[in-house]
Amino acid sequence: MTVEAVEGLAVRSVTQEEVEFFFENGWVKLPGLINRSAAAELLRRAKRIFGEDGRAGLEPISDKAVLKVKTQGWFRTAVPISEKDEAFRELASSEDLGRNAARLFGRDSSIRLTLNNLTCKLPADTERGKGTDFHQDTTQHMAFEANTMNIWIALDEVTPDMGAMQFYSGSHKLGNLGDLLNPATLESWEPRLAHSCTKTDPISLQPGDATVHTNLMIHGTGPNLTNRPRWSYIGMYLPADTRYTGADSFYTNGLELKPWSVIDHPSFPVIYEGNV
């Protein structure tokens, strides 16, 4: 980990209106969640890791696991970025970000940071510039009893044609819809989704803008049709009193968590002390 000083990160508070929008729709856009100068510094650091064009040291997708191969086509990732770079660690573990997460979960609980990524969706002429298949965040969630939330922060401008995120607004109310990465399953849900949800247009973001979605929100993107990489930070947060379910998962395997015990582990640090 680098020990360079990081100056000037500011995370604003979510408004009550944004909290209500989130409950109604399952996602919310948070313009200017972090200050532009911090976003610019994070982007500089991201480029140090992945190169100016995002392609430095890029390795071909080789994993045999079907799900992994699929998700690896969505973007390039450095995880956990909080252990690779001090500025990303400050962002990932920001108390203000944690307080926002608690308000969006609907309860002033303590909050833990879990998975945290630097991601870069490359132009679509590469292996990691494809569209993100529409999905719920089921695999990230099944090991945890409580809901999880992803905070997705743009480090650079994201235009609609860059593989900007789209949401099926309201889909969080439909519960767990199964393996949506299986095209037949997603297709079979289409009539219900058309009836109950509104699919958003791709959400444009300025550097420092964010979207937040719950694990049950169906989300995905088109391919990155531009020649610019799409840079973002994605952090996954959950209430600190969440228990481990015992499910086999990439997020928890090897940590020796006990099923139905609180996920109290250095890999899941508490970043915000709530009041309940």
Ligand X SMILES: O=C(O)CCC(=O)C(=O)O
Closer residue to ligand X, CB minimum distance, 70 or 265: 70
Q: Binding to Fe ion by residue 156, rule CB under 5 A?
A: no
Sign of CA dihedral 145, 101, 137, 82: negative
Closer residue to ligand X, CB minimum distance, 109 or 166: 166
Q: Give the shortest CB-129-to-ligand X separation in angstroms.
A: 10
Closer residue to ligand X, CB minimum distance, 6 or 231: 231
Contact indicator for 56, 28 with CB cutoff of 8 Å:
no
Q: Give CA 175 to chain center in angstroms.
A: 19
Q: Binding to Fe ion by residue 180, rule CB under 5 A?
A: no
For the segment 119-148, give every residue that binds ligand X (CB under 6 A). 119, 121, 132, 137
Residue 1-40 contact track with ligand X, rule CB under 6 A, x = bound: ----------------------------------------
Closer residue to ligand X, CB minimum distance, 72 or 242: 72
Question: Which of Fe ion, ligand X, none binds 167 (CB below 5-8 Å, type-dependent)?
Answer: none
Q: Give the shortest CB-155-to-ligand X separation in angstroms.
A: 12
Nearest in space to 82 (alpha carbons), one of 2, 159, 14 = 2
Residue nearest to ligand X (CB): 132
Contact indicator for 5, 189 with CB cutoff of 8 Å:
no
CA distance 122 to 166: 18
Write the burial class of residue 110 (CB in 10 Å: 0-12 exposed, 13-18 middle, 19+ buried).
middle
Q: Binding to ligand X by residue 234, rule CB under 6 A?
A: yes
Contact indicator for 52, 60 with CB cutoff of 8 Å:
no
Total number of residues binding ligand X (CB under 6 A)? 11
For the segment 171-200, give every residue that binds ligand X (CB under 6 A). none
CA distance 1 to 85: 6
Question: Which of ligand X, Fe ion, none binds 152 (CB below 5-8 Å, type-dependent)?
Answer: ligand X
Question: Which of ligand X, Fe ion, none binds 105 (CB below 5-8 Å, type-dependent)?
Answer: none
Selected binder of ligand X within 82, 116, 150, 252 (CB under 6 A): 150
For the segment 63-92, give every residue that binds ligand X (CB under 6 A). 74-75
Selected binder of Fe ion within 137, 145, 156, 209 (CB under 5 A): 137
The site for Fe ion (CB under 5 A) is made up of 137
The site for ligand X (CB under 6 A) is made up of 74-75, 119, 121, 132, 137, 150, 152, 219, 221, 234
